[in-house]
Structure formats: C-alpha cells, structure tokens
Chains A and B, each alone.
Chain A
Amino acid sequence: MKKNDYRGWQEVFRFSFMQGVKQKSFTGFLIFMCVLLILGPIALTFFQSGKEPEETKVTVQKLYIFDEVNLAIDYENAFEGTDLSDVDVEVRSDITYEEYKTNIEELEDTKDLGVQIGYEDLGYFQLNFVRPAKADLSDEECDMVIDTFVTFFEEAKRKAIDVTEEQMAFINQAVNTEVLFTDESGAIIEEEEAAEGISMDEYFILLGGIMVCLMIITLNGSSVANAIVTEKSTRVVEYLMINVRPMALIVGKILSCICLTLIQFGVMGVSYLISTVIQKALFSQEQIDATMDSMSALQAFQGLNVVNIILCILIILMGILFFSILAGLAGASVSKMEELAEGMKVYQMVQVIGSYIGIGICIMEMMGGVNPLIINICGLIPISTPFIVPAMLLTGRMTVMVALIGFVLLTLLTVLLYIFAARVYESMIFYNGKVLKLKDILTISGVRSGKGGK
C-alpha cells in the first residue's frame, strides 16, 4: 500500500466541506457575524451622528487681557467674525493680573474672564486664564472662549513676527533628540532600545488578536480531531479506506476545515464592506470619519497594510495546518469519542504553550514593555508564531523580515510533522484499543524501537 497515495482527497474535501457548510453551528455563527459586521458599524455611526453637538450658550460678557509681552496685537478684535462676537475684550493695565485674580474669585455675579499673556524664561508663551469660581458659567462656554482666544493668539502672534503659515508650520516641527552614551574611554556605546509599555487599548487589541488566532486554530483542530474520531469510532473509515488512503483522507479533511475558516473570514470581510457601502449611502464622510476617530483603539494598528495582512493570513493558515495535523494525529490515537479529551492532551499542551507565550508577551508589554528582541525570539518559536506574529506585525511591533522568518520556520516544522504523520497515520487509523501515548506513536513511526500493538 502506498502511504503517499493522495487519490480521492478531492472527494473527501468536497464531502467534508459540504457537511461542514450544512452544520447548524457553522451557518449560525456565520449569520451572527454577518449581522454583527453589517449592522454594527451602521448602528455605531448612526448613534454617533445622532449625537449632534449641543450648541453651547455663551453667557461670558467680557474677557480682560493682561498683556505682559507687548506684542503688536489688536486684542479688541479677538472674537471678530467668530460665534463669540458678543463677548467684549478689554486690555487692562490699571491693575495687575494677580490683583484681578484675587478679586474675581470672590465675585458671584460676574460673567467675565481674565487672561494673562506672559513669556516664560524657558522660551514659550504662557496664557493663564482665570474665571470666577462661584459665578454661573459652564465649563463648556469657558472652554469655547479659551479655545477661540488661543486660536486668535496663535494667528496674531504669527502675523506680529511676520512669518508665513508654512514657515510657522516648519518652525513648529517636532525636534527629535538623541542622547549618546560614552564609556570611560570616550567611545560611544549603543544604548538598548528603550522598551515602552502599551496602553490598555493596545493591550486589548494585542490580546484580542491572539485570542482570535487561538479561537480559529482551536476550532479547526478540534473539528479535524472530531471528524477523525467519528470516522474511527463509527467504523466509516473501513469503507473510506477501500478507495482513499489515510493521508488523502486527512489532507481532504484539513483543507476543508481551512476552506470553511476562509469562507467565514471572507464572508465577514464582505459583510464589513457591505456595511461600509451602506454607511456611505446613509451618512456623510465626516460622520463616518468621526465614528472611526471615536474608536481610538484602532489607532494601534500601525502595521496595517496589504503585505502585512497577506503575511498574517499565510501565517494563520500555516498555523491552522500545523495544529490540524497535530489534532489529526491526536484524533487517530483514540478509538472512542469519549477518549478524545485524553488523546488531545499533547495537542492541547502544545497549543496552550504557544498561545500563553503570546499572552505573556501582551501582559509584559502592558506592564512596562518587552525588549523587541524577546518579542522576535518568541515570534520565531514555531508553536507560538501563529499566535504572536499576526498581532505584533499588524500593530507595528515586529518587522516584516522577522515575520517572514517565523513563517518559514513554521512551514518547515509543519512539513516535518506532515512527514511524521504520513509514517504513523496508516497504522493509527485502524488502531482499536486504549489511548496511544506519545511514546507508542513514536514506536509506530520507528523513531523509537519497541513493540507495536494492534
């Protein structure tokens, strides 16, 4: 018997795929996700756009200016052409800002604000606002007055020193600094890249990514193992083996599981696109953008581009393949459905180790940061690659090169596992007895010498 005879895998694939599609759990989950992805974003945008900003009623009557920098600025026109044109502006020089501040705090019936414009020794302008604490002024209206005045001041300042907007933008560019460290001899030593922690939002994004990968891989693995044990325990395998060889059987099953997963993702993607199209038809671009902006967690996806997405899909698929072959072996090591949990121990242990490495990295990142070298090393361990690399790559915490190396290593291990499976699967598929241990499987494969069993 040729163990590597793959004839008939297409039929196994078609049948397994169609039966998978017919499963209520598959269609139920798919419908749920489609509804969620189509209606969720629409509902979110609807509710966001429904929140029309309440028009802030400004009752502030006057803004007193305490100018200590003497720039040639005409403050009296500060609110001209704005919604606050009713607010008067008066430059005070009769009293100091400190005196005004002391007086205003005691007043209850005033609706005036004061601002001190100063220049600090460290080289920047300082605008200090003061408002009567006991007066009937809302935070919103005060903020509106302050924001409008600051905008006016920035513009007036630029005009006062006679620079264009472009020049100002250039001047305002962020200044990057680098501190070099030298050793006793004066030579520059490289400082280890500072590890920065992640926000809670980013933590949930990373953890969510790992959990999604874990869910996909677990679902696929368990469905392959279940299918194999079902065929073994019901003896269907006896019928199949006349026309299909063991490896063709497992290949057909794994590929059907992968296809079902891809369909789920594909349909989910299409659902989201449909949702986007509907959103565009129903809402303005500003409303959609505002909804996207409100989801600050999405900002964590710094590495979101086509290449990275394709690489992530490939890594997840390879992960599914690796863990499905492992699950197939676990399924073949038992004869009854009720023994499956025991047979899956090794599979689960490998999966738990792989995913826990990823979760550990997330927790360490949140607690203060992990050295990127450690993230890379963990991403290169094949059993943790599918759990770590997609999340790290899409959030910009891992380079494409490291992800590629991780993918290659995972592929190599998958190929080795497949060769091993091809050696033992035929003997295991007809095995009917107590749960096979790892050493028994190694004995069957010839890696260990020992007695076989029927």
Chain B
Amino acid sequence: MSLEVKELVKSYGDKTVVDHLSFSLKEPGVYALLGTNGAGKTTSIRMILGMLAKDSGEVLWKGKPMDSMNMNIGYLAEERGLYPKYELMDQLLYFAKLKGVAKDVAKERIAYWAKRLEVEEYLYPKQTKGKKKEKPKMADQLSKGNQQKIQLMAALISEPEILILDEPLSGLDPVNTDLFKEIIREEIAKGKYLIMSSHQMATIEEFCKDITILNRGKVVLQGDLNEIKKSYGRVNLFIKCDEEFDDVIAKHGLEVLNDTPDGKQLKVTGEEQAKHFLKDLLAADKTVVRFELREPSLHEIFVEKAGAQHEEE
C-alpha cells in the first residue's frame, strides 16, 4: 500500500470541513476525490500535501508519515496560480528550484513540455531578422487555457511520484482537453499515483478506478467505481424506435428520465423488465433502432448522493 489517508479531520471553529476522511491508493493509478462545491475536497488535498495543519488523522506514504517537503509531488490547483507580471520562464524555474530540480535539468524539461504542450512561443521569444527581439511573455498575456498548460508544466517539471490534479480539464477546449488526457494517460502508464478531483464525471469515469464522494466534509460514497455501479444494477434503458412507442411505455408503467432526439431514457427495475419491454415493442411491430441497458452513470450516482444530501440540508 503506497498512499494511505487515515481519518483526516479539519475544523474551523465549530464547523467541521473534513470529517474522518480515509482512503488509500494500493497501486499506481488514479483516485477520484469528488464532491460538490465546498464539500471539503480542496481542504483535504491541502492536508494531504501538508500545506494545512490537520486536527487529527494521518497521511502515510509507503507506511511512513508523508512529508511533502521531502517528496516529489506535483500539484495542479483548481484555481490556477501564476504571477501575472513575472516572466513565465522565471516562474517555471522558480517552481522547479523549490522542488529541488537543478537549473539545467529544469531548462531541458521546460523545453520538452513547452514543445509538447505547444507553448514554446510564450517561453522562447522569437527574434525575426531585422526586428527587435520580442519581450518574454507574462502570465496575464496568456489565455486561460495556455495558463493552464504552464501550470501543468509546473506540476510535471519535477517528474513527480504523486500527482494531484484539481479540476485539470476545466476551461479547456476539446483539442487541449484531449492533449491533457493524453498526458494523464502517459503519467498513469509511467506508474504514477494520481489523485484527481473534477466535476466532469465523464472524465472521472474515463480515468478512475476508485472514488470517494464527499458532501459537507463527510464521505457519502466510497469504493471501486465498477462495483458501485454494479450494486445499482442495470436500471437505465436507452431506447429509440422509428415509430411512437408511448403506449408500450404506458403499458409497463415506466418512468421517462430523458426524452431526446437520440431516444428516450427509461428507468427499469432490472434486466427482466427490460426484456419484457423489448418483447412488447417487437410484438407491437415497432422498429427498434437503439436498445441499451446499462448501470447508472457516475453523474447520476453523484447527483443522487450529493444532491440528496443537499436537499436534506
């Protein structure tokens, strides 16, 4: 067991913002820390990173208390952080130096990542013949997406053992989203330990095996994502026919969750009811063009768990 978070607690006054959070990453991969806004994800991450003092609990790395200052950890924060008026190269070298990376090594890595993330023009000012050399770029001259790329470079520059990504894909266009996903996959392939926090459930489903859903500091759901889904059963039926089939739906008394041009999403009790429904559709001479029975998505599970808690409160 490599990364183990045990019973983390943090309170401000009489408000408990993280209440006995425990989870572990037994092997390299991505762990998802999910929750609504203000659920305690960032506070938990800060405690794991040792930035914030914890009231109780412990974070262990390979069985020993984790000291972020003596470890190689990469962090991409939810709220991007760059000095707006300092040169980008200076900032990256500074972050690298703080992580103990030698200047020449840092420069090599910056060059690699700059090419990879297509931000060379911002880090290496051009000099066109007969023209004055361009001034190095400051962070506030970059778009949000490009700033995010620089942030990712800062997180990866030390080739970290543990990588913590807080909302890594927010605000990115589809092209850059794919680029980031590719890099995350590469890091997983390199055997890194990743903790990812995101509100994009599809992304979590794409990368994460284990999840924890927090709500108001408390763990409301935790475990292997596939197991969690299986426990819900295959209750989502997606169906599309060339003809109207509302009469068949009414006959079975099914709840329509969604009605889109791509078909209807129905709530069924299980595979048996779905089979009967399909049989009746065919008997009624309907042309079935889509029939998909599957478990609830993480999005639905999240809304159910976190949303329910919201409503209760």
Interface residues in chain A, defined as those with a beta carbon under 8 Å from any beta carbon in chain B: 1, 3, 5, 7-8, 11, 14-15, 18-19, 230-231, 234-245, 426, 430, 450-454
Contacts and interface: CB of A to CB of B under 8 A. Distances in A.
Contacts of A453: 12-13, 15
B22 interface: no
B13 A451 contact: yes
A322 B211 CA distance: 48
Contacts of B83: 19, 230-231, 234, 236
A239 B81 CA distance: 7
Interface stretch (B24-32, B91-99, B276-284): B91-99
Contacts of B86: 19
B174 to A, nearest CB: 25
Nearest to A451: B13
Interface stretch (B47-55, B234-242, B261-269, B302-310): B47-55
Contact of A430 (B14, B46, B54, B99): B46
Nearest to A237: B81
Contacts of A454: 12, 15, 17, 43
The number of chain B residues touching the other chain, given as a range, is 20 to 34
Nearest to A19: B86
B69 A5 contact: yes
Nearest to B73: A242
A19 B73 contact: no
B309 to A, nearest CB: 19
Nearest to B95: A239
Nearest to A454: B12
B234 to A, nearest CB: 41
Contact of B79 (A1, A235, A245, A451): A235
A243 B98 contact: yes
A18 B46 CA distance: 29
Contact of B13 (A8, A236, A430, A452): A452
- Residue from A18, A237, A239, A452 having most chain B Cβ neighbours under 10 A: A239
Interface in B135-181: 154
Given A238-B77, A242-B68, 13 more contacts: A8-B98, A231-B83, A234-B83, A235-B80, A236-B82, A236-B83, A241-B51, A242-B51, A242-B99, A451-B14, A452-B12, A453-B13, A454-B43
A47 B222 CA distance: 85
- Residue from B43, B49, B51, B154 having most chain A Cβ neighbours under 10 A: B51
Contacts, number: 86
A236 B53 contact: no
Contacts of B13: 450-453
B102 to A, nearest CB: 13
Interface string B80-111: 11111010001000110111000000000000
A330 B81 CA distance: 21
Contact of A15 (B15, B69, B94): B94
B113 interface: no
A2 to B, nearest CB: 9
B41 to A, nearest CB: 13
A235 B98 contact: no
Interface in B40-67: 43, 46, 49-54
A239 B15 contact: no
A11 B103 CA distance: 12
A1 B53 contact: yes
15 contacts: A1-B50, A1-B52, A5-B69, A230-B84, A234-B83, A234-B84, A235-B81, A239-B154, A242-B49, A242-B75, A242-B99, A243-B98, A243-B99, A426-B52, A454-B12
B170 to A, nearest CB: 14
A18 B97 contact: no
A241 B98 CA distance: 10
Contacts of A430: 46, 51-52
B94 A238 contact: no
Given A19-B86, A19-B90, A241 B49 contact: yes
Contacts of A450: 13
B52 A7 contact: no
Contacts of B99: 242-243
B68 A11 contact: no
Contacts of A243: 68-69, 98-99
A11 B98 contact: yes
Nearest to A1: B53
Given A5-B69, A242-B73, A454-B17, A236 B98 contact: no
B35 to A, nearest CB: 15
B90 A18 contact: yes
Contacts of B49: 241-242
Contact of A7 (B53, B69, B80, B84): B69
Nearest to B45: A238
Contacts of B154: 239
A82 B20 CA distance: 103
B163 to A, nearest CB: 12
B94 A11 contact: yes
B12 A238 contact: no
A238 B79 contact: yes
Nearest to A230: B83
B90 A240 contact: no
Contacts of B15: 451, 453-454
Nearest to A238: B77
- Residue from A5, A231, A243 having most chain B Cβ neighbours under 10 A: A243
Contact of B82 (A7, A234, A245, A452): A234
B92 to A, nearest CB: 11
Nearest to B83: A236
A452 B17 CA distance: 12
B53 to A, nearest CB: 5
A237 B95 CA distance: 11
Contacts of A3: 53
Contacts of A426: 52-53
Contact of A1 (B17, B51, B75, B80): B51
Given A1-B50, A430-B52, A454-B17, A238 B81 contact: yes
B75 A238 contact: yes
A14 B46 CA distance: 25
Contacts of A451: 12-15
B225 to A, nearest CB: 28
Contacts of B84: 230, 234
